[in-house]
Each structure stands twice: as C-alpha cells, then as structure tokens.
Amino acid sequence: MHERITTTEAKAKEIKNFIDQVVNKAKEAHGNAERKVSLLRQLNQDLPAMAAKKILGEFVERFEVRKSGYVRVVKLEPRKTDGARMAIIEFV
C-alpha cells in the first residue's frame, strides 16, 4: 500500500519475484473481464483487498510499457541487533 518497505535482503529478493509475477498477470488480464475477476479472486487470498485493487488499477497503467523490473531492491546497513542484511524494496 505504501509502495516501499524495509525488510531483510533475503525477503526482499523473494518478494521481488512474487511482485513481478503478479504485475505481469494483472497486465495480461487488463483487457479481459473474465481474467480480471479470476485474478482479483486469486489476489484476495494472498493480499488485502485494497492492495489487489491497486495492482489491477494503478500499477497496470503505470507499468503498461515495461516488460519487467517493476521493483528495485536497495541494500542498507546491517541491522544492529542481529547483523541481518537489510534492504528497501520499492516500486520503480
């Protein structure tokens, strides 16, 4: 919803693949109403309803000309408590 989160580097890399797949599916379903409804139901199982609507609406229009690379991962300093490598993942 905020289009940017701070998390560990490993989680950010995993999320990146998931987001690319979801946005590609949303772009494919953009013209077809049946696919759009099916994808919306599928997304509502994994994501909040507001996030699913945002992906199917705003992000499809924003990334219409892009083929991939919808998010970027920016590495940060390690976390002080346990030394885990941190990163910011954000939409381009």
Give the domain ranges of the chain.
4-91
Give the CATH class of 4-91.
alpha beta
Which regions of the chain are under pLDDT 70? none
Chain position carrying tokens 């509502």: 44
For residue 34, the model assigns a pLDDT of: 85
For residue 86, the model assigns a pLDDT of: 97
Chain position carrying tokens 């409804």: 37
Please give the C-alpha separations between residue 14 and each of 5, 28, 49, 73, 76, in angstroms, as whole numbers.
Answer: 13, 22, 22, 11, 17
For residue 17, the model assigns a pLDDT of: 92
CB neighbour burial string for 33-49, b if at least 16 within 10 angstroms, e if fewer: eeebeebbeebeeeeee
